[in-house]
Structure 1
Amino acid sequence: MSKGLRSLATFSWRAAVWVTISVLAWAIAPAQSRTAAADPALARLEREIARLAEIAGGIVGVAALHLESGRRVSLNGGERFPMASTYKVPIAVQILTKVDRGELTLDHMVALEPTDLSPGSGTLSDLFNKPGVALSVRNLLELMLLISDNTATDVLLRLAGGAEAVTARMRELGIEGLRVDRPTKRVIADWIGIAEPAPWSLERFRELARAVAPQDRQAAARRFDADPRDTATPEAMVALLEQIYRGRALKRETTELLLDIMRRCRTGEARLKGMLPPGTEVAHKTGTIGGTTNDVGILVLPADAGHVAIAVFVKSSEKDIPTRERAIAEIARAIHDFFLFHPAPAQ
């Protein structure tokens, strides 16, 4: 049995629902529609997404675009959410833009200093915390996107020209609802409630974090969720994914490099990929901090049914991470099945 047929054979109970919806929608609106406002089937999908979002608690934002047909769905798609580590995608785009422009090479070696080490996810801060380490830009990119290494991210952000340069690149691409403002070390410090200005050594950071009282941490977390810095709307993130997919953000070689790394992402197996048919190709990036749990990426549908750019953001949730991840997985599966079993009507 071919890969496409095996994938088709794995569809869930939702598939039957979407097939029924497809027939009804064609009877009501035979012309192709792009949004739920004009397409009853897409409107039903949006209601299903809203129902599934309740699993996560907090506020959930979703945007999804079927890249071949232009059909899209959204839930709180214009609301800002903390990107957490999904902001590493726009950072990667800016780094690779500099490569495309001849301002940086992937083989350029970068020496890491003790003050470069950042807390949180990754391995560099734990395994290479002594002087004498140098890594290429390519290796830093892989660490940032594969295992979400925060030290690699902050080094790359500096090489990218800083947060302002990343945001400026987003504006060049016509993306307004996404901004990058701080290195990950500062993002985490603000979430914890560390007031002392950087720079810090990693040990000093940990000392400051331990000194923050629980009530101050809670207040800082509330401020963090309301902070416009380092946020994106789901629709803006999907717009960036679309620009990457269509080759508008980067040259062909760097586009292929970025998507290849994102396809090999080692985090978030229970999120976008969690309930998809085995073997489904997903180029994605996760993000997690406090009550925020995110995953964004591009799904490849089986049987040549196309590609879906998708962003699912959760913020201000008090549910545990596995529960939030289940909500993301359920939403991704609903979207996957809809676009697989509900092809666009002929014009």
Structure 2
Amino acid sequence: MIKIFTIVALAISVIGCNGTSRNTEVLRTRVENIVSSKKAIVGVSIIDSKGKDTISINGNRRFPMQSVFKFHIALAVLSEIDKGKLSIDQKIEISKDQLLPEDFWSPLRDDNPDGGSFTIGQLIQYSVSHSDNTACDILIRLIGTPKTVEEYIKKSGINEIQITFDEKEMQAKWENMFQNWTTPIAATETLKLFYENKNNLLSKSSYDFFWKVNKETSTGKNRIKGQLPAETIVAHKTGWSGTNKETGITAAVNNIGIVFLPNGEYFIISVFVTDSKEDFDTNEKIIADIAKATYDFYTSTGN
């Protein structure tokens, strides 16, 4: 426990436009207290809507993304739509043999066991909002390969990311997931970059659609959203690796997103949990506790 606490404490940095402030120290301490006793490596990156506060824990460490990469895939597909190479209403035929098998999470397959015809917009909704693996891999093939997605994100200005495998390949071997990684800071910067959209990376229609499907995310109800007021709007994407039966270690319980506050402001948060010997509920609670501490910090009258 002491070793984990020391590593976490040394990895925490707090940077604000006026340097480390008393108020930011309060939030930093709260987050540190949440993660310090856990048998896991936790990565956190938080930015407020004004860019005033940046808090990171293991912010430059590479974490396996798992399904978080579906966020990036959707962005790459929408970019191709904006170029006129694809259309959001374009129909894609998916045959029964293209559906991933039952050991893969796929609401699309469960809803359509014989396959069917789907618009690209529907595939993005399945992939992002419901973390569907069949839709994910179909979308990747529409634009090229996993590296096509990586290259698009890097050209947009985010360098700390690697996408090597699609879902089927990633889940073929435990070690494959570690080839699809990003850092907490890069994840938060990606959220910020595409939400602010200052460089018009997405057209207005693609932008509106993308953030709508992120707000409709149905997975991870006990993570970022877990302890927030029920009416809180969160645009987010989750990821999960399952637990290695041989080692008892969970490699990824993740959630990245934007939390919209009652006063019209927001904060951007990315939390990655890896190398965890905690149970699933505890891993999710780590994320929920950090999100709640951050929400309370930005909604308290003292800040």
Q: TM-score, with normalisation over the residues of structure 2?
A: 0.85
Shift of 1:57: 2.8
**Compared with structure 1, are the counterparts of its residues 103 and 224 closer, same or farther at alpha carbon in structure 2 (3 Å cutoff)?**
closer
Question: Which amino acid in the other structure matches residue 333 of structure 1?
Answer: K
Shift of 1:287: 0.7
Shift of 1:54: 4.0
Q: Residues 36 and 46 of structure 1 are in contact (CA less than 8 Å); yes or no, is this contact kept in structure 2?
A: no
SS at match of 1:189: coil
SS at match of 1:241: helix
Q: Give the match for residue 283 of structure 2.
A: 324
- The structure 1 residue matched to 2:88, chosen from 100, 106, 128, is 106
- The structure 2 residue matched to 1:70, chosen from 36, 52, 63, is 52
Q: Give the match for residue 121 of structure 1.
A: 105
CA RMSD in angstroms, aligned pairs only: 2.0
SS at match of 1:176: coil
Q: Summarize deviations over 1:107-137 as a string: whole Å, max 9, x none.
A: 111111344322422223344343x522110
Q: Give the match for residue 162 of structure 1.
A: 145
Q: Residues 78 and 233 of structure 1 are in contact (CA less than 8 Å); yes or no, is this contact kept in structure 2?
A: yes
Unaligned runs of 5+ residues in structure 1 are 1-32, 192-222
Partner Cα separation in structure 1 for residue 129 and residue 52 of structure 2: 29
Alignment of 1:58-97 (within 5 A): 58-97=40-79
Q: Residues 169 and 176 of structure 2 are in contact (CA less than 8 Å); yes or no, is this contact kept in structure 1?
A: no
- The structure 1 residue matched to 2:186, chosen from 209, 232, 236, is 236
Shift of 1:99: 0.9
Shift of 1:49: 1.0
- Whether 1:303 aligns to 2:255 is no
* RCO comparison, higher one (Cα < 8 Å, 6+): 1
Question: Which amino acid in the other structure matches residue 62 of structure 2?
Answer: R
Q: Residues 35 and 42 of structure 1 are in contact (CA less than 8 Å); yes or no, is this contact kept in structure 2?
A: no
Q: Residues 67 and 309 of structure 1 are in contact (CA less than 8 Å); yes or no, is this contact kept in structure 2?
A: yes
Q: Give the match for residue 196 of structure 1.
A: none
Q: Give the match for residue 185 of structure 1.
A: 168
Unaligned runs of 5+ residues in structure 2 are 1-14, 243-249
Question: Which amino acid in the other structure matches residue 45 of structure 2?
Answer: A
Partner Cα separation in structure 2 for residue 185 and residue 107 of structure 1: 26
Q: Please identify which structure carries the higher helix content.
A: 1
Shift of 1:253: 1.6
SS at match of 1:285: strand
**Compared with structure 1, are the counterparts of its residues 36 and 52 closer, same or farther at alpha carbon in structure 2 (3 Å cutoff)?**
farther
Higher radius of gyration, 1 or 2: 1
- Equivalent residue pairs, number: 277
Shift of 1:343: 7.4
SS at match of 1:324: helix
Question: Which amino acid in the other structure matches residue 243 of structure 1?
Answer: L
What percent identity do the matched residue pairs reach? 30
**Compared with structure 1, are the counterparts of its residues 231 and 254 closer, same or farther at alpha carbon in structure 2 (3 Å cutoff)?**
same
Q: TM-score, with normalisation over the residues of structure 1?
A: 0.75
> Deviation above 6 Å: which 4+ runs of structure 1?
none
Question: Which amino acid in the other structure matches residue 195 of structure 2?
Answer: Y
Q: Residues 56 and 314 of structure 1 are in contact (CA less than 8 Å); yes or no, is this contact kept in structure 2?
A: no
Q: Summarize deviations over 1:20-59 as a string: whole Å, max 9, x none.
A: xxxxxxxxxxxxx726963233233223212212465311
Alignment of 1:207-226 (within 5 A): 223=175
- Whether 1:272 aligns to 2:224 is yes
Partner Cα separation in structure 1 for residue 118 and residue 267 of structure 2: 34
